[in-house]
Structure formats: structure tokens, C-alpha cells
Structure 1
């Protein structure tokens, strides 16, 4: 049976403490999924009964609502509460929806590589093919946004065993795919860390299971309150994953706004991006390591 060599086991109770800027306890970011889907491939669906049809007007139209309408509603809410998105960007978005990229440029969003399209999972490539693929994705996003992405999240949080190494070679310094912690941690790839993301505090999973708007707000509050309780000796990360075709729907938008308003009002919250979390952790964990070695 194979075990992962990408990271070591590290119980959260046995780590050097993390101190976020200005004494904040919980680093909060919005992972805004901005995705392009192919009309002739089964993808994320609200009703699987038509998912294998070509074209699948029902599900394609549901997804397409996000980039045509939903994302603009979400942007208004983020702006209202002073939150910069951490944009999980399919590189095909740059070609198909340049207005969204421009809106993010104007707001100084963080840009993460999120594959080419969410209709195709990141798997089944040999190393040379994958290197060429990742190079194209990263270079396309850099050309469109004016900033080379530092982070990666695969479509459907997918990787090959070679992905982390290849990403590090391309200059990226963190990944979101391994949702196994409330803190960043070092991976066994030089220069690469894991930053927390969530498949639980995620609109796609929550509303797909029938969560109501008020329940969503309660879940966000509960997540924050528990992380705050946990963070008295060491900072925590809270990621909220949003998909504009889900929470951009009119009847859900006010609850997203309510949840963001709650978090923005908390004195212990650092409203930030995944880029800034990675930078702070990497810089200060290096300083802590040097201090501990100096005491030895």
C-alpha cells in the first residue's frame, strides 16, 4: 500500500505558534472559483439526469449563469465588505471572460492557477506532458492578469504525483488541494507549502445538500467561533469557497452578504488572501526556525 511522501504527519498540538499580523487570530480568505466549462463534456451538475447529453442545456446554462450574472453580484458583496478575492482561475477564463479578469485586476485580487477548464480533471498525464500543460496554464494567467500566479488548486482539487514538483519548478509556492489542516504547513517539496482550503465550508457542497440561506450563515459563524476558540495560542486559517453559479443566485446572495458582513466586523479576523497567508507563514516560520536553531 502506497503512502504519500508529499507531507509528514504533524499534529496541530505540537507546532511552533503562528502569529498573524496585528494580533489577529483567524486569517480569513474567500476562494472565488472562476471557471470555464466545455459544452460537450459532463461537468458539475445541478441535475444529473441530463449530464451526459450533448449539449446539456440545463446544466451548462446553470453553470454559465455564474460568469454572466452571479460573479458580478458576488463582486459587489466583496467590495462592500473590503474583501479581496483569492481567484481560483481556469486559464480558459482569460480567453472567454476577459471582463472578469479586468474586474479582478482593478481590485488587486490574488490569482491562483486552477487548471485550464473545470470540465477536465488534472490527471492522466506523463511528466513531460504535464510540465507543458502547467507551463501553458501559468503563462496564460500571467499574461492576462499581469501577475504570475503563486498558488495552485486543481480542477476538482486534482493533482498527479508530479504536480507539486512541477509547480515549484514553475515558481509557484503553495497549493490548496490537500484540505487536511487549519494551518499552513511545509510540504516535502522545496519551496512549496500547503495553505488550507475547504470542501466543507464550500457553497457547492453545502447548498448541494439542501442547506438553506440562514443555515449557511449559521455554519459560517460556527466555523469562525470554533477556529477563534482554537486560535488563542496559535493562529488559524478560515477559507470560504464560493462558486458564482451557486451563491451568485439571487435568493442566496443576501445570505452570502450577511456572512461576509459578520466576518468583516470581527476584531480578531484578518481579512486577507491566500497569497498573503502564504507569504506571512513562509517568512515567519523561517524566522521561528532560525530562532529555535539559535537556541540549540
Structure 2
């Protein structure tokens, strides 16, 4: 114990034990495919919510249930916004990592048909964003990870490589359970601009950087950024990271939700931001699974 007057503090703080601290300036130097230094991926969240109960992002403070206003606002994304975004992604020839609640397969299978036709990566994102994964018991959480993997395999012909928890909600065992079920990477952690090897009780699990800054829920819903400001954030982050990547290879993720950026006034600005990245041409435009595949084969560190 350390004494600060009358206050006693333990010598060591609790830690997660998943990785050790290493400064980004003192790591292995390597290139992404084609000699590129910045990998950029778009993570598109496809989510479905329970009507009349459970969690959900809110356009306005939640009403008594059934909260029709906020439920309908989110449902706009699956009915309209996602189709506008698909047109944008097709026009820019952008590959995607599609983070899917498996409830989407039952609610609007036409949406998944469209992404399957594009050859996008399908990433497990729980069954619904109406629930918190971190509150589950080990057995219930294990069943969730298994059930989502099985459903995606049934629909897509292969199991997902990656996982993003609904609401980034983890238990203390989530990385262990992911590795044991056969997932190869997690997107839950925003602690770095490079992939990180996580330790689990049964081997290595990759952590691929997933943004909480360049993410439309924290930016638009929580911090009330306009569509123009969010687009500027994307452009400024890209321009800064492409310069930073001269010294270190980096990963930039862009996290989007159709019910937010699929709104017309935000879509127009998003088109500008993504068009800037594509036109610049210096980044590796990719998917999270391609990053993991490259690291597993090349073993750069």
C-alpha cells in the first residue's frame, strides 16, 4: 500500500492482462499490401431493435414505452438509409465490413442479400442492439457467440472471423470466449491505431482498431456534431493519419450506422468525405478480415 496522508492506495491497479504497454514509436515497422502505409476500412453497422423495450440510440430523450419516435428513427436506417449508402459505396467501389445483428436476417433479409452480392465481409454484431452482452453469464454469452456464428454461417456459407459486441459491452471473459469459439479478431477496443495481439486463456486473438471518434453515434448522437462536421472529422483524420503513417503503419476505421449517416443531409457530406479518401489513392481500402489475413501470413511482428 502507498500512503497519501490519511489515504491508502494499493501499489498495483487492476489490469485486464490482455496486452502489455508498448509505445507506437517503438514497434516493428512494416508495410501493408502494395507498399501502402495506411489501411482504411468502413464498418457499417446493421442493427435491429426490439419494439417497446430494450436499448437503442435516441434521437430525442427516451419516451415511455413504446417509444415510437426513437424506434421509427432507427428503423429508417433499414428501410431507406442503408439503400442510399449502398449506392454510395457502389459508386466509390468501396469494400465494407458489415457488422450485423443476426435479427436482421429475419427482419429485412433483402438488405443482407445486397451486401452478399457485393462480396462484403460479414462481421458478427450480436443478435440485437437492444441488449448488453456484458451483463450475461458465461454460459449465456457463450451461447450468444455460438448462435451468431452458426446463423451467419448458415446464411453466408462461412462463419464470421470477427466480432463487435452490441454497445461495445464486454464481460471479463469475452476475449477468451471469442477465441474458444473460433473468432479470429475483436473490434471492441479503441486503444490503438495498430492491430494488437490479445492474450486469452486458449491462445491469441487479434484486436483490430475500431473507432469511437470517427463513429457517427458518439459524434452525432452524443456530441451533436453536424453532418458537415462529422465529414470534416473523417477528412482531417485521414489527412493526418496518411502523414503519420510514413513513420508507422496504421489502421483507420470509419464506423457508420444507416439511421444516422443515411439521413439525406448527412449523406451528402459523407459522400464528400469518402470521395476524398478514394480520390487520394494512397491508402489500402480494405476489410478487417483482410488485415488479419495479411498479418497472419506475413507475420510482420
Normalising by the smaller structure, the TM-score range is over 0.9
The alignment's TM-score, normalised by the length of structure 1, stands at: 0.93
| Partner SS for 1:225 | helix
Identify the range of structure 1 (70-79 vs 155-164) with the bigger mean alpha-carbon deviation: 155-164
Give the Cα–Cα distance (whole angstroms) in 1 for the partners of residues 173 and 75 of structure 2: 32
Extract unaligned runs of 5+ from structure 1: 290-296
Is the contact between residue 26 and residue 235 of structure 1 (CA under 8 Å) also seen in structure 2? Answer: yes
| Partner SS for 1:48 | coil
Give the Cα–Cα distance (whole angstroms) in 1 for the partners of residues 50 and 227 of structure 2: 29
Give the Cα–Cα distance (whole angstroms) in 2 for the partners of residues 133 and 221 of structure 1: 36
Match runs of 1:1-296 below 5 Å: 1-41=13-53, 42-50=55-63, 53-189=64-200, 190-208=203-221, 209-284=223-298, 286=299, 288-289=300-301
| Over 4 Å off, 4+ runs | none
Q: CA deviation at 1:126?
A: 2.4
Is the contact between residue 42 and residue 253 of structure 2 (CA under 8 Å) also seen in structure 1? Answer: yes
Give the Cα–Cα distance (whole angstroms) in 2 for the partners of residues 144 and 276 of structure 1: 21
Give the Cα–Cα distance (whole angstroms) in 2 for the partners of residues 238 and 20 of structure 1: 13
Give the Cα–Cα distance (whole angstroms) in 2 for the partners of residues 54 and 9 of structure 1: 45
Deviations 1:15-52 (A, max 9, x none): 101310111121111110000101122421111141xx
Is the contact between residue 183 and residue 237 of structure 1 (CA under 8 Å) also seen in structure 2? Answer: yes
Query: Counterpart of 1:293?
Result: none
Extract unaligned runs of 5+ from structure 2: 1-12
Query: Counterpart of 2:4?
Result: none
The alignment's TM-score, normalised by the length of structure 2, stands at: 0.91
Query: Counterpart of 1:294?
Result: none
Query: Counterpart of 2:10?
Result: none
- How many residues are matched? 285
